[in-house]
Amino acid sequence: MRYSKVAACAAALLLPGGAALAQDGPALLAASCGGCHSETDAGLSRIAGQRKTPEGWLMTIVRMRVAHGLEISGEDQAALVSYLADTQGLAPSEAAPWRYALEKDPNHIEMVEEPLASMCARCHTAARVGLQRRTPEEWALHIDFHVGQFPTIEYQALGRDREWYKIARDEIVPLLAETYPLETDAWTAWEAAEKPAVTGDWVVLTDLPESGPAYGVLTVTGDAAPYAISGELTLANGSTEPIGGQMNLYTGYEWRANVTVGGMAYRQVLAMSEDGTSLTGRQFERDNDSLGGVFKAAKAGSDPMLLGVVPEAIPGQDAMAQIVGTGLDDVQIEGMNGLADQLTANAAGASVHLAGEAALFTFTAGENTATAALYGTVDTLTVEPDFTIARVGGGSDVGPAAVPAHFKAIGWWNGQDGQPGTEDDIRVGTLAADWRLENSDEIAEAMEDATFAGKIDATGIFEPAMAGPNPERPFSTNNAGDLKVVAEAAGQTAAARLVVTVQRFIDPPIR
């Protein structure tokens, strides 16, 4: 089994009994933290001036254990995270812009403006900043903490060329205090809002790394966290896999679950809508957070909601498809060059028969639309993502595991203008493809990157090579590389860029 700090952190947020103990949150907070943090009118010093996500509070408590000798049991730690996230968390709208960091989206590229780009985001994501709120005094102390905990920060690249500490205190602290203040209307409103129930049946749609799209119904039961999850997922080929596990709900909407799907362990990081009718986020392998997919769900019995169609791209002229969602009695279907009939309701939405040649079907329910296509050929092909990174790893019982990457081939038809790559192009969907690796440039060719950096399988999953010096390579360099990932499908060819780089030795819950 691959070494994974992600799995360890996920388990820390789901220890049995933790949420129940959080009912005594104030007493637990005083007992665990009051020895170092003094009482103030607002609460315990430092702590009272901050709000964070569950992952943020977990990182703080772990740092107190590692750096300051805090002794706390696993159950009490889980309870303390739950209490702090519930009482000093982030409102849904505050966390929304930064969910990619919580969800470990491997393909998101931050675009950070100055001055935060060089003052903060050269060491960690900007999301790490955006996922917390502090008083002006706390932001100032946070700057001082950086200098004390990381004394070389002013001498590193993008730090030594400026008066880092002076800029941090005089410019960055006021900016952060104004942009991310402790007291906000959003948090006040969310604190007072009645929180929706998470229990019940959820119609879900996700994507499994090696199997593709999967849909089904999850049932959430229990009187308090950790809640039990059970259900079944249906794959595009019609086979089924059981799904089950445990889930904690933090701050009234932050869903964190550990589940197994057909024996494979997954982590779910989701956000429930403020009205409790939908879930959005990401599900990924617990041992490989780069392998996973978007996870969407609709509360059974809620207003009409369409999640998607499985499969979205179907070779041939005749097939059955599944419309995934809830309340689909009046789903609207618009067909281009085809006919849809035999609509039959089921627990996960409805099945439908599709027929036609080069046909596109658009389904609408409520405010949501989705498409499915029957195809023989496509006009163009793209690879998603068009750029990402992977990391070598392994070769040690304690070192970081390799970080894979997952690619998909997407087929397109030209729109009315007959030109590829324009706004009226029609997305056919994900196609089965043949995959290969090529060197990206002359330097990669000379270093034989495509030979040594790793392998790609038939599902588009790239598995990096082992970390460490490789005597078979020029200069005995490691197995890093700069590659082109090439897909061939439906008579078309497309490529993406993949950089295979070194291990990530420090991997906190929020990077």
- pLDDT grade for 336, boundaries at 50, 70 and 90: very high
The pLDDT value given to residue 69: 94
Could you say which of 3.20.19.10, 3.80.10.10, 2.60.40.10, 2.40.10.10 is the CATH number of the domain covering 305-375?
2.60.40.10
Structure tokens that stand for 271 in this block: 């956000």
**What are φ and ψ of residue 86, in 5° steps?**
-75, -35
Strand ordering across the sheet containing 408-413: 380-384, 408-413, 426-431
The pLDDT value given to residue 314: 96
Q: Is 468 exposed, middle or buried (0-12, 13-18, 19+ CB in 10 A)?
A: middle
Average pLDDT over residues 325-346: 94
Does the pLDDT at position 7 exceed 70?
no
CB count within 10 Å of CB 406 equals 23
Q: Where are the beta strands (DSSP E) in 330-480?
A: 332-346, 349-365, 368-375, 380-384, 387-391, 405-406, 408-413, 426-431, 434-439, 454-456, 461-464
The pLDDT value given to residue 351: 96
- In angstroms, the CA 216 to CA 90 distance is 30
The pLDDT value given to residue 184: 98
- pLDDT grade for 97, boundaries at 50, 70 and 90: very high
Q: Mind listing the pLDDT tens digit for each residue in 243-266?
A: 999 999 999 999 999 999 999 999
What are 268's strand-pairing partners? 257, 283
Angle between helices 5-12 and 74-87 (to 10 degrees): 70
CB count within 10 Å of CB 68 equals 9
What are 208's strand-pairing partners? 212
Q: What is the 3-state secondary structure (H, E, C) of 444-487?
A: HHHHCHHHHCEEECCCCEEEECECCCCCCCHHHCCCCEEEEEEE
Which fold is adopted by the domain 380-501?
Answer: Immunoglobulin-like (2.60.40)
Q: Backbone dihedral region of 370: left (phi > 0), alpha (psi from -120 to 50 degrees) or beta?
A: beta
Does the pLDDT at position 31 exceed 60?
yes
What are 50's strand-pairing partners? 134
Share of the chain above pLDDT 90, in %: 90
Mean pLDDT taken over the chain: 94
Which single residue is written with the structure tokens 């992600």? 6
Q: Mind listing the pLDDT tens digit for each residue in 187-231?
A: 999 999 999 999 999 999 999 999 999 999 999 999 999 999 999
Question: Could you give the residue range(s) of every CATH 2.60.40.10 domain in the chain?
Answer: 305-375, 380-501
Q: Can you spell out the DSSP letters for 9-62?
A: HHHHTT-TTHHHHGGGHHHHHHHHHTTTSPB-SSSBTTGGGEEE-HHHHHHHHH
Rounded alpha-carbon distances, angstroms, from residue 107 to 120, 122, 391, 502: 20, 18, 13, 17
Question: Could you give the residue range(s) of every CATH 2.40.128.120 domain in the chain?
Answer: 200-299
The pLDDT value given to residue 8: 54
The pLDDT value given to residue 4: 46
Average pLDDT over residues 4-19: 52
Average pLDDT over residues 371-391: 97
Q: In 3D, which of 398, 426, 402, 431 has the Cα closest to residue 414? A: 426
The pLDDT value given to residue 18: 43
* Cα 456–Cα 106–Cα 2 angle in degrees, nearest 5: 65
Q: Mind listing the pLDDT tens digit for each residue in 385-422?
A: 999 999 999 988 888 999 999 999 999 999 999 999 99
Q: In 3D, which of 295, 374, 381 has the Cα closest to residue 102? A: 295
The pLDDT value given to residue 6: 47
Which fold is adopted by the domain 200-299?
Answer: Lipocalin (2.40.128)
- In angstroms, the CA 447 to CA 466 distance is 16
Does the pLDDT at position 10 exceed 90?
no
Average pLDDT over residues 62-68: 95
Does the pLDDT at position 442 exceed 90?
yes
Structure tokens that stand for 244 in this block: 């089950």
pTM for this predicted structure = 0.93
Distance between terminal CA atoms of the chain? 23
- In angstroms, the CA 505 to CA 461 distance is 22
Q: In 3D, which of 388, 332, 395, 383 has the Cα closest to residue 486? A: 383
CB count within 10 Å of CB 192 equals 7
The pLDDT value given to residue 20: 45
The pLDDT value given to residue 3: 37
Structure tokens that stand for 238 in this block: 């019609």
Average pLDDT over residues 1-25: 52
3-state DSSP: the chain helix, strand, coil percent, rounded to 5? 25, 40, 35
- In angstroms, the CA 45 to CA 34 distance is 9
- In angstroms, the CA 471 to CA 288 distance is 28
